[in-house]
Chain A
Amino acid sequence: MSRLRDAAPALGLALAGLIAWEAIVRAELIDELLLPSPTQVSTALWEDRSLLGPDLVVTAWEVLAGLAVAVVVGAGLAVAMHLFTGVRRALKPLVVGSQAVPVPVVAPLLILVLGFGIAPKVLMVALVCFFPVTINFYDGLRSVEPDQRKVLRSFAATRWQTFRLLEAPSALPQAFTGIRVAAAVAVIGAVFAEWAGSDSGLGHALLTANGQLLTARAFACVVLLFALAVVLYESFALLERRLVRWAPTPDPSGGP
């Protein structure tokens, strides 16, 4: 009951938007070729389900694999940068600079090098996703409460003990913030990589539908991408609540 009440504002807003949207299209204020109505989109979603279902699975795999790579590599980078000053000095500008490289420019290059398989898609997703993971985890490792650090130091803890017993667990909530951000933007990487060269996936389906002026189907693809991002984000939020129960929630009624 309370979950339903929590979701009420989001559902209400979505419903109001959909009704307004439907009304605008039905009143023929906008050409339905440019903007299909919600009912047309949901019809397309249903009728093209056998077409879009496999595409959703393909994109979901790309996103999950890419996220996994991003979490492993991103956490590794954060820990290395935290523990070794040399690594930090060498890598930090590169890590930050990597985010200035436009995704649509890199995607075709990756396809060129890695072929048309799943590898360039996974790599693309990982490229989009590792940055929030690295930066958030790294900042988390550095922002340990001074009193807790003093306790460990007064116990004469080694560098590794301080990391394992204090810094790593203390950074977990912020690492999860990074992973949630990454999960929300991951689909962008997958879509760009599919646009650069692919014969399946929602990005590919989106591009094809656009070319054939099947706007309703294109919108159906966007709806699925939207849902994928939300489900990923909420799954990680759930995992976070399981793993870091001890962390103070800023607003218990607000949720993540």
Chain B
Amino acid sequence: MITRLEARAEPREVAGSGEGVVVDRVSRSFGALKALDGFCLRVAPDEFVALVGPSGCGKSTLLDLVCGLSRPDEGSISAGEAVLMPQRDGLLPWLTAEDNAGLALRVAGASRTAAREAARLHFASFGLEGFERAHPGELSGGMRQRVAFLRTLLAGRPVLGLDEPFGALDALTRARMQEWLSVTLGREPRTTLLVTHDIEEAVLLADRVVLMSPRPGRVVAELDVKLPRPRVRSDPAILALRERAMAVLER
């Protein structure tokens, strides 16, 4: 059962230069465990969609499917080339920050030096200047996430799958990183699927928030967030959206 909280006409027209995502009646089980059951989702190019739901509702499974890391049992997925930023940053501890950030370029065939130099160009705008040669173990949680996000962007894919990128951060750092992500994606828009259990985060960042049911995951409701950016968490409109999402999820 899908409740549209914001009335919207037809599925969005495909616009912009990027590529979108269409998930059509997808089911995926792990043994007897049904993670997703007939799941549908449509993301327009350069749209930012947040998936919110209780733990184990198949959010991460959906990201794996969109990023081509596993195949659906039933249904189909058509998406532009997608890259995943996993839950824990997945940085390689033996590589420096710049080598981690340039990892996708090396996989794509660039030399170690070329990948490193391409990554280094972005360190200043990512607030990582001076930490090019640091290893992940020497970086703070927020910096690790920024390196991981730079690595994800440098993969050069039109679609980003972000799996609870700020879940492990303290509240203050998380708030800063949310602002930072919003600004960065504003500069360089991508089709983005953000998985989170934090409703506030979803409402602050996304164009649209998709609320999911407990396992097996289905879309319970969708919320359009038609608010200008930058958004402020104390904005009454944000608070109202948050309350409505909470009400739906608690039902």
B residues 94-121 touching A (CB-CB < 8 Å): 94, 103-104, 106-108
A252 CA to B84 CA, complexed, in Å = 34
Return the chain A residue nearest B69 by Cβ.
Answer: A153
- CB <8 Å contact, A147 and B87: yes
Chain B contact residues, majority secondary structure: loop
Return the chain B residue nearest A245 by Cβ.
Answer: B135
Q: Which residues of A contact B (CB under 8 A)?
A: 145, 147-148, 150-157, 161, 165-166, 169-170, 172, 244, 246-248
List 28 interface pairs A-B (beta carbons < 8 Å), by A numbering.
A147-B86, A147-B87, A147-B89, A147-B90, A148-B92, A150-B69, A150-B84, A150-B86, A150-B90, A151-B84, A151-B86, A151-B151, A153-B69, A154-B69, A154-B82, A155-B83, A155-B103, A155-B108, A155-B155, A161-B107, A165-B92, A165-B106, A166-B92, A169-B92, A169-B94, A170-B94, A172-B94, A246-B94
- CB <8 Å contact, A155 and B107: yes
Contacts of B108 in A (CB 8 A): 155
Contacts of B83 in A (CB 8 A): 154-155
A161 CA to B93 CA, complexed, in Å = 17
- CB <8 Å contact, A150 and B104: no
Contacts of A248 in B (CB 8 A): 93, 137
Given A147-B89, A161-B107, A165-B103: A154 and B84 interface contact (C-beta under 8 Å):
yes
A244 CA to B69 CA, complexed, in Å = 30
B residues 70-91 touching A (CB-CB < 8 Å): 82-91
Return the chain B residue nearest A158 by Cβ.
Answer: B107
A156 CA to B156 CA, complexed, in Å = 12
Please tell me if B67 contacts chain A, counting CB pairs below 8 Å.
Answer: yes
Please tell me if B54 contacts chain A, counting CB pairs below 8 Å.
Answer: no
- CB <8 Å contact, B93 and A165: no
Q: Which residues of B contact A (CB under 8 A)?
A: 64, 67-69, 82-94, 103-104, 106-108, 135, 137, 151, 155, 161
- CB <8 Å contact, A157 and B107: yes
A112 CA to B41 CA, complexed, in Å = 73
Contacts of A157 in B (CB 8 A): 107
Q: Which of B67, B90, B137 contacts A148 (CB 8 A)?
A: B90
Contacts of A246 in B (CB 8 A): 93-94, 135, 137
Contacts of A153 in B (CB 8 A): 69
Q: Which of B69, B82, B90, B103 contacts A145 (CB 8 A)?
A: B90
A39 CA to B176 CA, complexed, in Å = 69
A157 CA to B107 CA, complexed, in Å = 6
- CB <8 Å contact, B92 and A155: no
In the complex, besides A148-B92, A157-B107, A248-B93, 17 extra interface pairs with C-beta distance below 8 angstroms are A147-B88, A148-B90, A150-B84, A150-B90, A151-B86, A151-B90, A154-B67, A154-B84, A154-B155, A154-B161, A155-B104, A165-B103, A169-B94, A170-B94, A246-B135, A246-B137, A247-B93
